[in-house]
Amino acid sequence: MNASRHYLAKAYFVGRKLISEIMAQVFRYVGKKLARVDGYTKVTGLEKFTIDIQLPGMLYGRILRSPYAHAIVKEIDTSEAERMGAVIVTFKDVPKVLFNPRLVSIHEVTYRDWLVLTDRPLYVGEPIAAVAAETEEKAQRALEAIKVKYEVLEPILDPLEAMKPGKPLLHKRIYLGDKEVEVRNNIACELRYEEGDPDRGFKESDIVLERVYRTNRRYHMQLEP
C-alpha cells in the first residue's frame, strides 16, 4: 500500500512538472509569474486615482439619499445650503424621465422604471437631491444643511407579499420602449417557460417535497477582480 502511494505521488508530481513545461512553451502568460503593470506605482504611493485629479474650476459633488425604504418627500428646504455657496439640484429641477439601469439582453426586462432624482424613494439610499461646491468640505456641509420632511410608508420587503392583490403599487408607470406598461400587483414583466407536463408529473410522483429557497443577488462571469 505504501509503495502504491509512493508511485502515485511521484506520478502526480512528474505529470504536474510536464504540464508546467508544456504550458511554458505554448503560453506566453498562463502559468508564468508576471509583475502587475500597476504594482510598483501602487505600493510606492505614486499611482494616480480619480480622487487625485484636480482641474481648474472643478466642483465636488455629494448625493442626498433617502434614509427610508419607502417614503414620500413632503418638503425639502435647500435655502441654508444655497447660502453656503453650493448649487443644489432636487427632484423638482430634473425632468421626470424614466431610465433602465439594468444591463440585460432580455427585452422584457429592459423596462424603464428609475428616476435620476425622486420624491418617492423606494429603497434606502435612493437619490433625492445633489450638491455641487468648490471643495469637498463645502459640499458635505451643504448636504447636511438640506432639511427634508418625509412621510414614511410601509416598506415592501417580501416579493411574494408584494404580488398579492391590494398591496400598494411601488411603480405607477413604467415604459418598455415607447410603450407605457400597466403594472398590476407590482409585476413589471412576466415570462413563462414550460417543458413537459409538470402538473401530471407531480400527480404521478410518489413523494412531493415543497421548499422555499432564498439566495442573495448573483452576477455571472464578471471580469472585474
- Rg of the chain over Cα atoms, rounded to whole angstroms, equals 28
**pLDDT tens profile 7-20:** 455 555 666 777 67
Are residue 82 and residue 133 in the same domain, yes or no?
yes
**C-alpha to C-alpha distances, 214 to 158, 171, 194, 211, nearest whole angstrom:** 11, 24, 22, 10
- Cα 190 to its chain centre, rounded Å, is 21
* Position 125 pLDDT exceeds 90: yes
Integer Cα distance of 205 and 122 in angstroms: 43
Give φ, ψ of 114 to 5 degrees: -110, 150
Spatial contact of 100 and 112, defined as CB atoms under 8 Å apart? yes
Are residue 108 and residue 138 in the same domain, yes or no?
yes
Integer Cα distance of 37 and 88 in angstroms: 41
* Position 4 pLDDT exceeds 70: no
Supply the range of the domain harboring residue 141.
Answer: 53-152
**pLDDT tens profile 152-200:** 998 888 888 899 988 888 887 888 888 888 888 888 888 888 889 988 9
From 19-33, 40-54, 146-160, the region with the lowest mean pLDDT: 19-33
Residue 22 domain flag = yes
CATH of the domain at 141: 3.90.1170.50
Q: What is the mean pLDDT of residues 58-76?
A: 96
Residue 39 domain flag = no
The alpha carbon dihedral of 135, 148, 126, 92 has a sign of negative
**Overall domain count for the chain:** 3
Residue 204 domain flag = no
pLDDT at 117: 96
Residue 213 domain flag = no
pLDDT at 13: 62
* Position 139 pLDDT exceeds 60: yes
Integer Cα distance of 171 and 210 in angstroms: 31
* Tally of CB atoms within 10 A around 211: 4
* Position 5 pLDDT exceeds 70: no
Cell of 198: 409538470
Residue 200 domain flag = no
SS3 state of residue 90:
strand
pLDDT at 12: 58
- Band of the pLDDT at 219, cuts 50, 70, 90? low
pLDDT at 14: 62
The alpha carbon dihedral of 206, 212, 215, 217 has a sign of positive
Mean pLDDT estimate for the chain: 85
Integer Cα distance of 217 and 188 in angstroms: 18
